[in-house]
Chain A
Amino acid sequence: MINKRLIGGGIAAMLLALITLPAAAQSFQVQCPTTTTTHPVAADVEPEYTNANGFNGAIKCQQISGGDGFATMGDGTQTYMFSFGPLSGLHDMANGQPGTQFPGVFNTVAPALLPGDPATADGATGGLVYNQGTPGTFTYNGAVGLAPNADSIANGSCAAPCLDGHVDPRPIMDVGVMNGNIPAPLMAIDEDDEFFLTLTNVGQVMRPDLFEQHTVHFHGYPNASAFYDGVPDASVAINIGASFTYYYLSPDAGTYFWHCHITPPEHLQMGMVGQLYVRPRQNRVPNGVSLYSALQTQQGNLRTRCDSSDILCSNPLPAVDTGATATGVKYAYNDGDGTTAYDVEIPLQIHGFDPNFHFVGMTFNPENFTGMKDKYFLLNGRSYPDTVTPGPIATQSTDGVMHYSQPLPAIITLTSGQKALLRISDLDVTEYQTLASQGIPMTVIGYNAKLLRDQAGNNLYYKTNSITLAGGESLDVILDTTGIPAGTYYLYTPNLDHLSNDAENFGGLMTEVHVL
């Protein structure tokens, strides 16, 4: 190991000699400007959408760690993961919400944080009290590590408190190490947002032989830039002990997802997979305004215009103006006819873990890629019955500290008549998986983050009782409980061998829909 480190240092020195870039600042850092050229006025709100050429959207920020951690499988097995963890929005994440924040929330200095927070600070009084499923009074959602830049204050280049992205590495390591999640931190942004995502590589404590970089691939982003696409072969990848901030103007609304792109068969199987979706402008249309006319308004800006002049446009004006108006309801897409309305939004990510691969991944052994065989079938990083356990699930890692490594339940609770939007993505790396609905029909309205609509404006939605996805695909399903009696319904896989948790012939890729 010592030799490897020396070699690594030598390579770094060689690269250093070749580099003509100006050296800048420290290794860990975050970026979350309160204003930019695109958003010149600081504001922590999504403004109403009334003008295609006005200042729409907002700035959103998030910080994540790249490292490792442990999760608990449905049969109680604790599994080692390569994984991303939250370094902002800790409170929201523990409550199953996205960790994405406005600058005013992100750019706040943390109270004293403990390793494992918020799982360890639950109750907030004595510190190391832990109650599964209740994040308690922990409320901090800002950027872990953010601290006043004392140097800049001292030399007069920045006025106190000078929260310019400078961080104190200690809380980052305290909170970030061994704190990986499955799925990786949830991200949600709105169309027209500028999104600053800082990836902070805290290293993998369980695998000191690896000096792995990590990246974020925004899977499915239209017109991605190679630089921010997260493919290490085509761009840069951040080393341990440093941060890289990804920047995107939000793409078209839809259900995307994200993952590390370093050695994908390894890092994805080991757990570096997460969810990401973009909400449409139509959510911001003022109440009472025609959705059709709002979509016509979008035609007034070439960036947001969508018609047959662009072969990659999926939501042209609908063939029929239904007269629907904005009423405060949320929509999956800029449909212009209100047909993608929903009451409850449920991100569901399909994945699979091969316990042999994970054991080998923890124990320094050579990995078997082609022989990979998943034995745990996961919805939001959990197998049934854990999928219906409310709140975050904590696992004690090898550091002896509890971590909320599985923050997202997959239980769906609706009152009769409500519509649920299932944002289903799949990052299994070995095989296709099917998810079926028993009792409540599925309506597929979007596929691969695009509305199902032809160039003439006809909706191509279809009803089904099951959907099948490969890793690398997503779709949007609406579960409409109109006329559905109260009771418990199931989403489960008809791949019947996937209804198991390793050797237990029970569990697997399944969750419950409770209609009240």
Chain B
Amino acid sequence: MSSIDMKKAISTAQLVPVALAMVGLLLTTAAPAAVPGITGPTFNLVATPEFVTQPDGNFVYSWGYGCDALNPPAAFVPANVSASGTCSAMQVPGPTLIVTEGQTVTVNLTNNLPTSAGNTSILFPGFTLTSATGAQGLLTKEAAPGLTAQYQFTATTPGTHTYYSGTQGDLQIDMGLYGAIIVLPNNVPAACDAGVHASNVTAQAASSVHTVAELDNRLAHAAYDHAGTCYDREYLFQFSEMDLRMHREAEEQVAACGATAGCTLHVATEPYFPTYFMINGRSMPDNMDGAYVPQYPHQPYNGNPHMHPGELTLLRIIGTGRWQHPFHEHGNHVRILARDGNLILSQSDVNSLAGPLLFTTTTTPGVTMDGIFEWTGKGVNWDVYGHNPASGDTNAKLPCDADSNGYNTAHPTAINYFEWCQDHNKPLQKAPFGDVGGGGPVTLPDPTLFALGAWWGGSPYLGPNATTRAVGSTGTTPPSGTVANSPSEEAGFAFMWHSHNEREITTNNIFPGGMLMMMLVDSREFVIDETK
């Protein structure tokens, strides 16, 4: 029994092939992505019905925002993913709208939902509309079926924001009408391109072990106009849930109404019993496939964070839907920078951050958070690279020259760039292990006594060099190619990032699934390619 096996819930034998297919998907190499989106400042959006897919094989009738084919977006960003960028007439979440602080943003929304669905609209929480046209609705101007509403506002505050339907939100948001707005700061502090941020970029561009330069896919170099918000990498996480019954009732009623004038939907939105729990519109494991891949034509965004040790990684977290979800980031705490685009600073010193440090970032409907995550291995008390001064392999004998904070930042092209030097050459295991020295505190059990995970890198150590020296090129895992974290190519440290309302890491009652993804910390031997 492998550790990722399926716990079939109330599912039946028919689901077994699906479960097997899921295992197959689980084992494909995952693809990272940055924060892909479209630029404006004018966005021509349409609201359209389509079917989204779930890993249990269901195609679920949904409504989503998308791009007007006749008035396509100005550009896809980041530039390195623009070639693969798509924006169809419907996607869940809606297109991520990327603008710059101070811009006047115009959103034209055309309602291409079925006539029986009635009006629709968009709310832009945290921004003040300077003009809006359309039919007057309860919360905002609305687009009547077939017609267009227009919203204008100034992107006054940088950071991560959300947009969603302001019309019958209990139904329309569950159906998929939500998305993200990212406002980039106007004045990125110089500090964001100096010091470790500069050497991190150098390390991405060059390496002593591979010739492929890693691409810089940041939308900006800071989240806010503040030196405390510099970052080296970024990811977006939009949490939502879905009640299948509502989607089926909507689908059936739309079909029943057809073109009958005056026929409207009456979908009960209570009791609410969601069975799909998604991050960026996809359930695990689909969320770890690439962005814009063809198998999810209406769910273009993924969630597959990768990072190198020492990189300050910006997490842009958005709660959508109705429920709160305790998003637990394994591996380290997150420094919360801002809430709803409002930077949280010390009352006594504007240069100091005051947001909390959280290992569980609760997502709340309508609330956004920006936070910084970093993993360095500091204080583990053993050399995660398994360095061995007695080895014949030069990469096993690399120096660790501590900077003023204790990290090996002096060697940006080295495998062990940003190693925590206090633990350099400290063995983990009592007895020597392959080409890794002994003298450490622990004895690992006989390998026949444990089960191995699909993201197990093959050894306790970080990166292919250390893993190969410890256990050989296949590690302790099944033959390479069948695992998600190849011992010979990646051998990263994998951490689960997931909802800690654990029943939500299921897809329609099948474990694993739902709000779950693996985050990988990779050594500098592995090229993180976010364009995949």
Q: Chain A interface (Cβ within 8 Å of chain B)?
A: 8, 11-12, 15-16, 18-25, 27, 29, 31, 33, 36-38, 165, 194, 196, 211-213, 217, 219-220, 222-227, 229, 231-239, 241-245, 247-249, 251, 261-266, 268-269, 302-303, 308-312, 314, 319, 366-372, 428-432, 447-450, 452, 454-456, 458, 460, 470-473
- Closest chain-A Cβ to B200's Cβ sits at a distance in Å of 14
Minimum C-beta distance from B520 to chain A (A): 9
Asked if B51 is an interface residue, CB under 8 A from chain A, the answer is no
Q: What residues of chain B lie closer than 8 Å to A369, measured between beta carbons?
A: 7, 9, 503, 506, 509, 511
Interface residues in B, total, Cβ within 8 A: 101
B330, B372, B379: the one within 8 Å of A231 (CB)? B330
Which of B3, B324, B402 meets A213, CB within 8 Å? B3
What chain B residues lie within 8 Å of A18 (beta carbons)?
474, 476-479
Is the Cβ of A234 less than 8 Å from the Cβ of B455? Answer: yes
Contact (Cβ within 8 A) A448 B358:
yes
Whether A12 contacts B448 by the Cβ 8 Å rule is yes
Contact of A249 among B8, B328, B381, B449 (CB under 8 A): B381
Interface residue stretch chosen among B91-99, B126-134, B201-209, B341-349: B341-349
Say yes or no: A245 contacts B500, CB within 8 Å. no
B228 adjacent to A311 (CB under 8 Å): yes
8 intermolecular pairs with C-beta atoms under 8 Å apart = A37-B440, A231-B496, A234-B456, A263-B7, A266-B7, A369-B503, A430-B501, A430-B503
Distance from A224 Cβ to chain B, minimum over Cβ atoms (Å): 5
* Residues of the A chain whose Cβ atoms lie less than 8 Å from the Cβ of B503: 265, 269, 369-370, 372, 429-430
Q: Mark B340-378, 1 if CB is under 8 A from A, else 0.
A: 000000111100111011111010000000001011111
Which residues of the other chain, B, contact A238 by a CB distance below 8 angstroms? 445, 449-450
Task: Decide if B71 is an interface residue (CB 8 Å cutoff).
Answer: no
A186 CB, nearest partner CB in chain B, Å: 20
Q: Are B330 and A452 in contact (CB under 8 A)?
A: no
Contact B381 A38 (CB under 8 A): yes
Residues in chain A near residue B433, CB distance under 8 A: 21-22
Any chain A CB within 8 A of the CB of B188? Answer: no
B493 in contact (CB, < 8 A): yes
B506 touches A470 (CB 8 A): no
A458 & B495 in contact (Cβ 8 Å cutoff):
no
B446 at the interface (CB under 8 A from A): yes
Asked if residues A367 and B495 are in contact (CB atoms below 8 Å), the reply is no
Question: How many Å from the CB of B481 to the closest CB on chain A?
Answer: 13
Any chain A CB within 8 A of the CB of B268?
Answer: no
> Is B422 among interface residues, defined by CB-CB distance under 8 A?
yes
B144-186 CB mask vs A (1 if < 8 Å, else 0) is 0000000000000000000000000000000000000000000
Report A500 CB to chain B, min CB distance, Å.
Answer: 20
- Complex interface: chain A residues within 8 A of B451 (CB): 213, 232, 236-237, 239
Q: Residues 372-404 of chain B: 1 if any A CB is under 8 Å from the residue's CB, otherwise 0?
A: 101111111110100000000000000000101
For B514-525 the 0/1 string (1 means CB < 8 A from A) is 000010010000
Q: A234, A251, A432: which has the most chain B beta carbons within 10 Å?
A: A234
Greatest chain A CB density within 10 A among B422, B433, B441 is at B441
CB distance from B486 to the nearest CB of A (A): 14
Using CB atoms, name the residue of chain A closest to B230: A311
Q: Do residues B441 and A194 form an inter-chain contact, with CB atoms below 8 A? A: yes
Chain A residues whose CB sits within 8 angstroms of the CB of B454 once the complex forms: 233
**Complexed CA–CA distance, A365 and B491 (Å):** 38
A242 touches B445 (CB 8 A): yes
Residues of A within 8 A of B260 (CB): none
Q: Is B17 an interface residue (CB 8 A)?
A: no
| Of B312, B354, B357, B441, the contact of A36 (CB 8 Å cutoff) | B441
Contacts of B476 in A (CB 8 A): 18-21, 236
Q: Decide: A450 and B356 in contact? CB cutoff 8 A.
A: yes
Given A222-B333, A302-B405, A312-B332, CB of A231 within 8 Å of CB of B506: no
A222 nearest CB across to chain B (Å): 5
B245 to nearest A CB, angstroms? Answer: 12
Q: Is B297's CB within 8 Å of the partner chain A?
A: no
Separation in Å of the B164 CB from the closest CB of chain A?
A: 22
Query: A20-B474, A369-B511, A370-B506 known; 17 other A-B pairs, CB under 8 Å?
Result: A12-B448, A27-B449, A229-B331, A231-B453, A232-B451, A234-B485, A234-B494, A236-B476, A249-B380, A263-B511, A264-B498, A311-B228, A312-B333, A369-B509, A371-B273, A429-B500, A454-B354
Residue of B nearest to A432 (CB): B324
Leading 6 A-B pairs by shortest Cβ distance: A472-B500, A232-B3, A470-B326, A455-B352, A302-B406, A226-B493
B79 at the interface (CB under 8 A from A): no
A8 to chain B, nearest CB (A): 7
Q: For residue B356, which residue of chain A has the nearest CB?
A: A447
Is B138 engaged at the interface, CB distance under 8 Å to the other chain?
no
Q: Is the CB of A311 within 8 A of B374?
A: yes
What CA separation (Å) do A303 and B362 show in the bound complex? 29
Contact A223–B495 (Cβ < 8 Å): no
A228 CB to nearest chain B CB (Å): 8
Q: Can you name the residue of chain B whose Cβ is closest to the Cβ of A267?
A: B502
Contact (Cβ within 8 A) B347 A458: yes
User: Of A225, A319, A471, which one neighbours B502 at CB under 8 angstroms?
Assistant: A471
Q: In the complex, are the beta carbons of A234 and B518 less than 8 A apart?
A: yes
| B324 nearest in chain A by CB position | A432
